[in-house]
Structure 1
Amino acid sequence: MNRRLLLAFATLSVLAVTAGCTGIFGGDQISDKQLEGDGNATYDWNTTADVTLNITSGEYQAVYDFSNRSQLKIFERESLGEETPVNVGTVRFRYRNGTVVTLNQSQVKRTNSRTVFTLPSREGKLAYTAPHRGKSFSTPTYVEGSYEVVLPRGMRVGTPILSQVRPDADQTEQLDGRVHIAWAEVTADNVVVRYYLARDLLIFAAVIAAGVLVALLGLAYFRLQIRQLEREREELGLNVDTDGDEFDQGPPPGMG
């Protein structure tokens, strides 16, 4: 009985060590089902920028237009600056002739800190989806070139306190209710966009207006209190006019 327990314990230990090594050495694979994603998923292949990042509710779609490239490695930064692989899904590649294929496990691998795409052709477009939350978006610039970020419907930039675009965009325009931010050439290490819901601007303006109103009322109350104190001093005779006081008539006779 003891031998059986020891054998079971040894087996569990081996499995635990194996699982640990898998995580340490980056052997975590992405399933073909995840790469296939929704069979009806579509991408905008008619993008004109080298990199297009389309942010929607809960995720974003990335489309990279490649020329003479065989591999792409992507990552994201955690709150403490740690680099981790991007959890991608619905990965597609479009050849120059228009043929679209799904990349498989051998072409999309996850290492300890990177998600690595091995492209089926050196020319074409790579597209994938990845999760996203919140009202800010940032990505390392894995490739240099032109970039375009499309914000979720109803989101805006332009108010300094509520939004930020870094580096400065070359063009910002609204098309079909969505804001498009474009850069002709990005050489910075990261693209960062912080945005706000359109109605947030109205709430912000209302808060500022309420703050100004409170400040004006406080100032009016303060001045009213000062005037009331001045009247009370006059009533008590504390505000005595010293003009013409006998002590201001000059020195005594003979000491002038």
Structure 2
Amino acid sequence: MNRRLLLGFAALALLAVTAGCSGVFGGDQFSEKRLEGDGGADYEWDTDTDVTINVTGGQYHAIYDFENRTQLRIFERESLGEKTPVEVNTVRFRYPNGTVVTLDQEQVRKQDSRTVFTLPSEEGQLAYTAPHRGKSFNTPTYVEGSYEVVLPTGMRVGNPILSQVRPDADEKTQIDSRVHLRWAEVTADNVVVRYYLARDLKIFAGIIGAGILIALLGLGYFRLQIRQLEQEREEMGLNVDTDGDEFDQGPPPGMG
């Protein structure tokens, strides 16, 4: 029994040491190479909204315009709903005078299932890149204000079956095959956009048309079968008219 207890304590100690080592070696940090990125993303700093999100294929660029703020905490949800830090890269901060700097490991870290940015100035713009997949995009509204979401090239919204925009956008424009959605003021907890490829609408319409055609052909075939059965019954004498039949002429004499 004592040996088993010792083994149990040893296992617990090993787990504690392992957890401690992960913290010592930066389990809550992003690498400097990741924060630096591949030479710098082509961020479009000249925006006129508080939050601008540019969704491009397998990633998105986010730009937040701040005033009187020193920190931003962001997260994403996994399939089961639990919150996890956003795996950001190419993190930049732009001062009001136009100077752009890369945030370091002390300024970008993982803490309490979130990615935490410590801003070098209370005013300026924060930009980062994060992975994205699928034909939908949603983000918690970490700050209230005006928003713009730019969809990937060729993606569309508008069909209520194939797409969804929540809350409803105040403005929708298309520039160079890309849809821009804008909100003058967002107070909802999340911005959700589900979109579709432009050719998907044609495919969807084709499927609906084919379904209607098949249904009409099936209905016609069914009615044809009914008519053929009726004809066969008539030919076999099964559809005999019983009007005036002797059994309908009343009871025999004396039983009326």
Partner of 1:65: 65
Alignment deviations for residues 120-179 of structure 1 (CA, whole Å, 9 cap, x no partner): 111111100001111111111111111111100011111112111111211222111101
The root-mean-square deviation of aligned C-alpha atoms, in Å, is 2.2
Alignment pair present for 1:85 and 2:85: yes
How far apart are residue 245 of structure 1 and its match? 3.1
How far apart are residue 240 of structure 1 and its match? 1.4
Partner of 1:53: 53
Paired residues for 1:238-249 under 5 Å:
238-249=238-249
Q: Distance in 2 between matches of 1:204 and 1:104?
A: 47
Paired residues for 1:24-173 under 5 Å:
27-173=27-173
Q: What secondary structure is seen at the aligned counterpart in 2 of 1:241?
A: coil
How far apart are residue 92 of structure 1 and its match? 0.8
Q: Distance in 2 between matches of 1:203 and 1:138?
A: 25
How far apart are residue 103 of structure 1 and its match? 0.9
Structure 1: which 4+ aligned runs deviate by more than 6 Å?
Answer: 251-256
Q: Distance in 2 between matches of 1:114 and 1:56?
A: 23
- TM-score, with structure 1 as normaliser: 0.88
Q: Distance in 1 between matches of 2:247 and 2:73?
A: 92
Q: Distance in 1 between matches of 2:218 and 2:201?
A: 26
Q: Does the CA-based 8 Å contact 1:51-1:145 persist in structure 2?
A: yes
Q: Which runs of 5+ in 2 are unaligned?
A: 1-9
Q: Distance in 2 between matches of 1:209 and 1:99?
A: 56
- Equivalent residues, number: 244
Q: What secondary structure is seen at the aligned counterpart in 1 of 2:38?
A: coil
Q: Distance in 2 between matches of 1:121 and 1:106?
A: 14
Instruction: State the percentage of identical aligned residues.
Output: 75
Q: What secondary structure is seen at the aligned counterpart in 1 of 2:54?
A: strand
Q: Does the CA-based 8 Å contact 1:170-1:182 persist in structure 2?
A: yes
